[in-house]
Structure 1
Amino acid sequence: MTTVIPAVTLNNGVQMPQIGFGVFQVPNEETTTAVAAALKAGYRSIDTAAIYGNEEGVGKALAESGINREELFITSKIWISDMGYEQTLKAFDESLQRLGLDYLDLFLIHWPAPEKELYVETWKALEKLYAEKKIRAIGVSNFQPTHLQKLIDATDVVPAVNQVELHPALQNAEVSAANAGHGIATEAWSPLAQGALLNDASILAIGEAHQVTAAQVILRWHLQRGRVIIPKSVTESRIVQNLDLFGFELSGEELAAIDALDRGGRTGPDPDSFNG
């Protein structure tokens, strides 16, 4: 496959592929096969996390792929139980070891866990790793505007990315606006709402008009709205299909029809109250 994946330029100049491959809830033993299929299909950005328990599986696929490290964009995340300055430095080294890598392209604080009041301290550890060039870009995940503002006011480096739950049923407009205001790229996890919208009549009608699937319609909507996405599948045909988004374009009316599906429907926890 020769798909050229567009890149988003992060606020520090680093180029991040706009489509990545997610491995949330993929068992470690299945991860190597899934990531190998994704790399074969043309993905070069892989998103994992310590809590997923599959960094080793990702690392094995990367090592076996023969792809030059410079062509890859690898993201992982620090879990809530590892937050804090020294704990973060240790957890980062452990993630790097499991992945078999010398550096990461992006490292995120997985959740703000506001009651623990550790995300500013944790961020300072990420700033140290970034200064030491062990990470090309640092960012956050599931941060609300209040969390972002507190972090930015107390530290030196503005996050490059905020990865949040975002799909047609939960468009997180306030968070996206706050990200844009700070020059932070918005990355959507659960971009397909775990399949909840694949039978929506308006999405199916748009798919029929373009002769593509409902999933492809939703993923294309994300791209045209400027977001980074990390669709997940362990089925090779769907892995390929989720990357096949460049043979059609949604009209303004079609984009607006999908925008109209926003109803605040979360599939995951509320970042204001989730503390691990």
Structure 2
Amino acid sequence: MSVPNFGVGTFRLQGETVINSVKNALELGYRAVDTAQIYDNEAEVGQAVLESGVDRKALFITTKIWVDKLSKEKLIPSLKESLEKLKTEYVDLTLIHWPGEGHDVREYMQELLKAKQLGLTKEIGVSNFNIALLKEAGEVVGMDNIATNQIELSPYLQNRELVDFMQQQNIKVTSYMTLAYGKVLQDEVIKNIALQRNSTAAQVALAWAMQKGFAVIPSSTKRANLASNLEAKMLRLTDDEMAKIDGLECNGREIDPKGLAPIWD
């Protein structure tokens, strides 16, 4: 199963808020849900999925292994804990959340591949990896086993060198922070395109990313915004509109945690 182009994110959503968000998303037709161990909401996501009544086989659930579990002793046990919280026998995709410092890429990628072989996860991948780390990971598990690299990517941070490498290797680009904490929603270029297309700025930004072949995982606590975001799948931008958004690149990185992030390309 390939990584879906559109899903709902759950970063920073907790308790009843994340339950309601995921249930609303599933009711609206979303079928991919993204969570992580460090989000501390896997149990609530699992509850929402269970209560939604949607057939598990129709869903694509992603979680991510936190940096304190990147060892032979801890990775698989931590994933099993995640499965218990998510109330599922497997996830569709498991990612290494951040490379961090001082971790053995060979060790944790071998364990991640083992998790796939054990049936705990259908696919494996990484998040926040640069080109050098992707090459290291690929040497361990094979590039064909890396389903995606989930990276911060928006009109303001287009990561072109990394994206080009990933596409050459047939690794799916998953964009998080596609709206740059909402900053792109105030951008005049994007707002003008949205006005001309009778769309929202969020729909334009999400459509731009998907039209480039990227997967997106926007989150929202509001049902109306979840519904509106989903309509981005139906929007097709012109070459001129795409070029205008391409021109917004300004290395506008929002997330760069010391001790977790690699040296970016």
Q: TM-score, normalised by structure 2?
A: 0.95
Match of 1:205 in 2: 192
Change (3 A) 1:64 1:201: same
Q: CA deviation at 1:45?
A: 0.1
Q: CA deviation at 1:16?
A: 2.7
Alignment of 1:269 onto 2:256: yes
Q: Aligned ranges for residues 129-208 of structure 1 at < 5 Å? A: 129-156=115-142, 158-208=145-195
Structural RMSD (CA): 1.4
**1:215-271, CA deviations, whole angstroms, 9 ceiling, x for partnerless residues?**
110001011111000001111100110001244321000000000000111110162
Percentage identity across paired residues of the two chains: 37
- Residues 142, 165 of structure 1: 8 Å contact kept: yes
Alignment of 1:128 onto 2:121: no
**1:132-171, CA deviations, whole angstroms, 9 ceiling, x for partnerless residues?**
2221110000000010111112334631110000000000
Q: CA deviation at 1:27?
A: 1.3
Counterparts of 1:154 and 1:247, CA distance in 2: 39
Q: TM-score, normalised by structure 1?
A: 0.91
Q: Aligned ranges for residues 56-95 of structure 1 at < 5 Å? A: 56-95=43-82
- Residues 124, 155 of structure 1: 8 Å contact kept: yes
**Unpaired stretches in structure 1, ≥5 consecutive residues:** 1-13
- Residues 167, 193 of structure 1: 8 Å contact kept: yes
Q: CA deviation at 1:178?
A: 1.5
Counterparts of 1:164 and 1:22, CA distance in 2: 13
Number of residue pairs the alignment of both structures matches? 260
Match of 1:7 in 2: none
Alignment of 1:243 onto 2:230: yes
- Residues 28, 55 of structure 1: 8 Å contact kept: no
SS across alignment from 2:158: coil
Per residue, is there more helix in 1 or in 2?
2
Is the deviation greater in 136-145 or in 20-29?
A: 20-29
Counterparts of 2:78 and 2:113, CA distance in 1: 15
SS across alignment from 2:203: helix
Counterparts of 2:214 and 2:4, CA distance in 1: 10
| AA partner of residue 110 (structure 2) | K
- Residues 93, 123 of structure 2: 8 Å contact kept: yes
